[in-house]
Amino acid sequence: MPDSGLVAALKKSEMFSSLDSAMLQKIASLARWRSFAAREMIFSEGEPCGGFYLLVEGAVKVYKLSGDGKEHVLHLVWPGETFAEAALFLGDTYPAYAETVRASRAVLFPSQPFLALLRAEPDVAIRLMGGMALWLRRLVGQVEVLALRGASSRLAGYLLGLQEGPAAVLPAPKAVVAAHLGMTPETLSRLFFRMEAQGVIRVRGRTISILDAPELRRIADGESDV
Amino acid sequence: MPDSGLVAALKKSEMFSSLDSAMLQKIASLARWRSFAAREMIFSEGEPCGGFYLLVEGAVKVYKLSGDGKEHVLHLVWPGETFAEAALFLGDTYPAYAETVRASRAVLFPSQPFLALLRAEPDVAIRLMGGMALWLRRLVGQVEVLALRGASSRLAGYLLGLQEGPAAVLPAPKAVVAAHLGMTPETLSRLFFRMEAQGVIRVRGRTISILDAPELRRIADGESDV
């Protein structure tokens, strides 16, 4: 019977969020708690991958060492996040060092039992992939929104400034407008396309019909994302 | 023998990037090309999930309909991206509508053969999970960097303004400083922590030692990310 604190920790992580109770119990039964002091090495680059971790408390830095021994931090791991799972799935050695920054508590999923479970019960793997796919979709959307945020607000403000009656007519070819707004032509097309798909504008050559001026204003003010 | 254009399309997508040639051939042999006109419905919400798609050319919008029939666009799919794979892995019906915006070409992975392959060859599933894990890690990092960008530049500029000799002493408790800089106390801690892990500063209570002033200047100027 796996301890219930462990099942609860798994449930709260993104990685295992799509699993049902029976699957969580199976995974929890092969996992084990590990505790680390502050500045303790968890694994080193080049070591065979003995498993991956879910951080429950504390903080961990994952880093590489350059030729002159300088640390290059690849990422910081926060509670609820897993690390080294790519190394496990790809059957590799650990590609970097992992060291705690603070005293930490983590769950270790040892490689061999974990892979054996996925091979014996492919439906666990398929559910895990479902959760990862949902998570990926959400992150792709977030990256796009964050990357376009400044650009979308500049474009919306520009269109409102050009607006005469129901439309704005671009005074120059789109590539020139893009340069004027400090973005690539691809970003401009993507923004036009997203605003059009959301029914905010309609683009016909250089004529941009403004279908939803209040929403365009909210985008310009950074209160709404495209 | 699967067609080589199909294998090439798979290779270029994030989803299949971690698979070796033999695995790609197996997946390609059960996939098939689909072509769609502009504004053609690919699937509807509530339909059993017949498979997932890799978009190769064109553009697709995935949307829900509200009670009054208004479209709410969940995401736009660009070439190289897959869609509906979460529905397939989670064994669900399609959770939304998918319709082309432009004439499009896609690769369909039909549910039953694809799931049968993953069950028969769990190592294909495990490699796919490895690729998804790498991709997730990259996106988590991007979201964090993008979300912290404005905040990190404000904090770095603030510390440089306070600097006297080798350190800056915060004039108020961290929660007050955070409010002054327009961020949550959690974001402030996270930024301090990241800058400390990268050797830019060292935080001891309210005293912030500045270890790498040129890098702090680059962060303030938006030329370097924390």
SS (H, E, C) A53-120: EEEEECCEEEEEECCCCCEEEEEEECCCCEECHHHHHCCCECCCEEEECCCEEEEEEEHHHHHHHHHH
Is CATH 3.40.50.720 the classification given to domain B144-220?
Answer: no
Domain A4-120: assigned CATH number: 2.60.120.10
Average pLDDT over residues B129-151: 88
Instruction: Return the pLDDT at A10.
Output: 94
Confidence of residue A2 (pLDDT cuts 50, 70, 90): low
ipTM over 0.90: no
Cα separation of A153 and B81, whole Å? 26
* Contact A38/B at CB under 8 A: no
Q: What is the DSSP letter of A18?
A: T
- Identity of the residue in B76, B136, B143 whose CB atom sits nearest the CB atom of A146: B143
Highest mean pLDDT among A161-175, A184-198, B142-156: A161-175
Q: Are B53 and B109 in contact, with CB atoms under 8 Å apart?
A: yes
Average pLDDT over residues B66-86: 88
Confidence of residue B42 (pLDDT cuts 50, 70, 90): very high
Instruction: Return the pLDDT at B1.
Output: 56
Q: Which residue has the higher pLDDT, B96 or B186?
A: B96
Q: Which residues contact A44 (CB under 8 A, 6 or more apart)?
A: A94, A97
Q: Do A197 and B81 touch (CB under 8 A)?
A: no
Nearest CA in chain B to A125: B125
Q: Which residues contact B207 (CB under 8 A, 6 or more apart)?
A: B167, B168, B169, B170
Q: Do B133 and A75 touch (CB under 8 A)?
A: no
* Residue A76: strand pairing partners: A61
Instruction: Return the pLDDT at B92.
Output: 83
Shortest Cα distance from B180 to chain A (angstroms)? Answer: 20
Nearest CA in chain B to A142: B143
A58 chain-B contacts, CB cut-off 8 A: none
Confidence of residue B167 (pLDDT cuts 50, 70, 90): very high
Average pLDDT over residues B41-50: 96
Confidence of residue A24 (pLDDT cuts 50, 70, 90): very high
Confidence of residue A217 (pLDDT cuts 50, 70, 90): very high
Shortest Cα distance from A87 to chain B (angstroms)? Answer: 7
Instruction: Return the pLDDT at B122.
Output: 94
Residues of chain A with CATH 1.10.10.10: 143-220
Least confident of A1-5, A208-212, B26-30, B161-165: A1-5
* Contact B199/A at CB under 8 A: yes
Instruction: Return the pLDDT at A68.
Output: 86
Average pLDDT over residues A144-163: 88
Q: Rounded to 5 degrees, what are φ and ψ at A31?
A: -85, 160
Residues found in chain A = 226
- Identity of the residue in A61, A118, A197 whose CB atom sits nearest the CB atom of B126: A118
Nearest to A35 by CA among A108, A111, A88, A112: A108
Shortest Cα distance from B163 to chain A (angstroms)? Answer: 25
Shortest Cα distance from A53 to chain B (angstroms)? Answer: 13
Sheet of A201-204, strands arranged across: A167-169, A207-210, A201-204
Residues of chain A with CATH 2.60.120.10: 4-120
Highest mean pLDDT among A135-139, A148-152, B39-43, B217-221: B39-43
- May I ask the CATH class of domain A143-220? mainly alpha
Average pLDDT over residues A128-154: 88
Cα separation of A209 and A159, whole Å? 10
Question: Does residue B57 sit in helix, strand or coil?
Answer: strand
Q: What is the mean pLDDT of chain B?
A: 92
- Identity of the residue in B71, B75, B90 whose CB atom sits nearest the CB atom of A18: B90
